Amino acid sequence: MYPLAFAKEGETVIVKSINAGFGVIQRLSSMGLNIGSKLKVIRNQNGPVIVSVRGCNIAIGKGLAMKIIVERV
């Protein structure tokens, strides 16, 4: 397991934990990103990490991406 910020482009991962405050977790949940969610990393270079969740692309800042722990599928 490792932070989402370290995931490679094209990789599919499952969210294992989110080490953030309640408000942040609620916001991510409203976008479909929960513990157990399957994500596909679209872009992870300079700037935010862009992931596909349930067919929608979401941009996540590097700081928050460090707090989302994932596991490769």
**Does pTM surpass 0.85?**
yes
Tens-level pLDDT at each residue, the chain (73 residues):
999 999 999 999 999 999 999 999 999 999 999 999 999 999 999 899 999 999 999 999 999 999 999 999 9
Report how far residue 71's alpha carbon sits from residue 17's, in angstroms, rounded to the nearest whole number. Answer: 10
Q: What is the CATH number of domain 2-72?
A: 2.30.30.90
Helices (H), 1-73: 22-30, 62-65
32: which residues sit within 8 A by CB, 6+ positions away? 53, 54, 56, 58
